[in-house]
Structure 1
Amino acid sequence: MKTVRLTLRHDAETIHPMHRFVAESDAFESYRLVHGNFAGGDDNAFVFHVVGDPDIYEAALADTDRVDDYDLVRTGDRTFTVYVRDLPADVDTRLLETFTGGSLVVLPPLEYRSDWTVRFSVVGESADLQRALEGVPDGVEATVDRVGEYDGADAAVGALTARQREALRVAREAGYFAVPRSASVEDVAAELDCAPGTAAEHLRKAEATVMDALDL
């Protein structure tokens, strides 16, 4: 079974208003869809994990006409989970049908990014994956980031934010995980251009995320 890591780039006509709002706001650091009911119908049910300002997010959520119902649960000062009954536009329905048809399975999380892109992985047979890529609707540009045999690794890697992946990559290349360790948190922070405390926090959260995603 093949796995494809994809980036979908939306234009101004196809981007979801909540994705656009989060992308254009400085109040959010991470926006990921972690569970979803992809069965189709009049609306779709999704669960998002968000790092950012819950008050600003909820005000925008209540103001959009694309959401039928929602339930926001705060899990920390700047972290929250939101259950959404989303009213899909035509492009959303077509994308869901494209990437869930035949043998295809979408692997959460779906990472909604500030450049109007969505990154996620899909597992399935080669013919169905090719069909899906050819069926991406107008207004959405698909880029294949990686293709390989499915080995379950996406569950752990895909759960990381872009900054967490970067922190782990820099730490590995610097020798932070070597035995014996040949780089310090300060070395990693210098490469990431951030404070040592921030680098340590990125690494701690990344390690916890990977461990939680592994089926041990």
Structure 2
Amino acid sequence: MGTGGKSPVDGSETAPDGVRAGVAIHGTTNCPVVAASTAHDGPITGVNWTHAGDTHTEEFRARDPDAVDRAEGVPAPASVVDLGDERVYRYDRPRDGECACRIIEELDCPIADARAEDGVLLLTLHLPDLERLRDVVSALDGTAERVEVRYLVQGAARGDGVSDRTLVDRGRLTDRQCEVLRTAYRMGYFERPRDANARDVADALDIAPSTFAEHLAAAQRKLLEETLAAN
């Protein structure tokens, strides 16, 4: 049974409490779409695929075909369709057990949207809960250099039956702010009582406590803006 739909007791509608996640997969080496995006100005969109026997057929759209043709690691297309302002590429290749999209699909997780930009595969997933998102990230371990959850929209029904949704967009944080938050969290800075103080975390990051405080305050302010903007 799903998490949303009608209540089994009174038949009333209940709000779904699943998540919408934007996942960025860095360092995939066997994906023509990712390879094409390394030379393409702007995202590669319209990504679709299908499987038949031992063949994986993949299709995508690009506005700069010359860039795609120059990109290394992109196999010769099985067919190409010109649509005026963009070109559709289609490739046939052997089914690959390390294909990120196939791994996710085998977890019974449909992919709502797929695109690639600057060598990063960007996927949008609709999942029943956060545990399912953890399963996806764990399954991709070893097939990519890094898997990043760039944003998360989580729905949770309030007592009045109205869905209260929170958007967390990690893309607003700088790499340094993410590192500071991650290190502080890992070391127990946010625990009560704390397992580490500001100086402990600053030392681990090899920065001054005042610099740690500045990065932490900036990151927390951005996250609070995301969480409280609609309230």
Q: TM-score, normalised by structure 1?
A: 0.51
Residue 22 of structure 2 contacts residue 122 of structure 2 at CA under 8 Å; is this kept in 1?
yes
Q: 1:41 to 1:4 in 2, by over 3 A?
A: farther
AA aligned to 1:51 is R
Shift of 1:118: 1.1
Which residue of 71, 75, 78 corresponds with 1:70?
A: 78
Q: Secondary structure at the match of 1:137?
A: coil
Residue in structure 1 matched with residue 21 of structure 2 by the alignment: 4
Larger Rg: 2
Distance in 2 (alpha carbons) for counterparts of 1:143 and 1:100:
18
CA positional deviation for 1:97: 4.0
In the superposition, relative to structure 1, how do residues 141 and 59 fare at CA in structure 2: closer, same or farther (>3 Å)?
closer
Q: What is the CA-CA distance between 1:60 and the residue it aligns to?
A: 6.2
Structure 1 counterpart of 2:90, one-letter code: Y
- What are the residue-to-residue correspondences of 1:118-197 with 2, within 5 Å? 118-126=121-129, 127-138=131-142, 139-149=144-154
Tell me the distance in 2 between the aligned counterparts of 1:40 and 1:149: 35
Q: CA deviation at 1:87?
A: 2.9
Q: How high is the sequence identity, in percent, across the aligned residues?
A: 10
> Aligned-pair distance for 1:7?
0.6
Does structure 1 residue 20 correspond to structure 2 residue 31?
Answer: no
Q: 1:129 to 1:35 in 2, by over 3 A?
A: same
How far, CA to CA, are the matches of 1:30 and 1:149 in structure 2? 26
Segments of structure 1 that go 5 or more residues without pairing to the other structure are 151-216
Look up the equivalent residue of 2:125 and give its one-letter code: V
**Cα separation, partners in 2 of 1:80 and 1:100, compared to 1, 3 Å:** same
Runs (4 or more) in structure 1 with deviation over 6 Å come to none
Gaps of 5+ in 2: 1-17, 156-231
Q: Which amino acid aligns with 1:118?
A: L
Shift of 1:22: 4.1
Change in Cα spacing, 1:90 to 1:137, as seen in structure 2 (3 Å) is farther
Deviation at 1:10, TM superposition (A): 0.7
Point out the structure with the larger helix share.
Answer: 1
- 1:160 is matched with which residue? none
Instruction: Tell me which of 93, 105, 123 is aligned to 1:100.
Output: 105
Q: CA 1:80–1:117 in structure 2 vs 1: closer, same or farther (change >3 Å)?
A: same
Instruction: Give the count of matched residue pairs.
Output: 136
Which of residues 82, 85, 94 in structure 1 aligns to 2:92? 85
Aligned with residue 55 of structure 2, among 37, 40, 43: 43
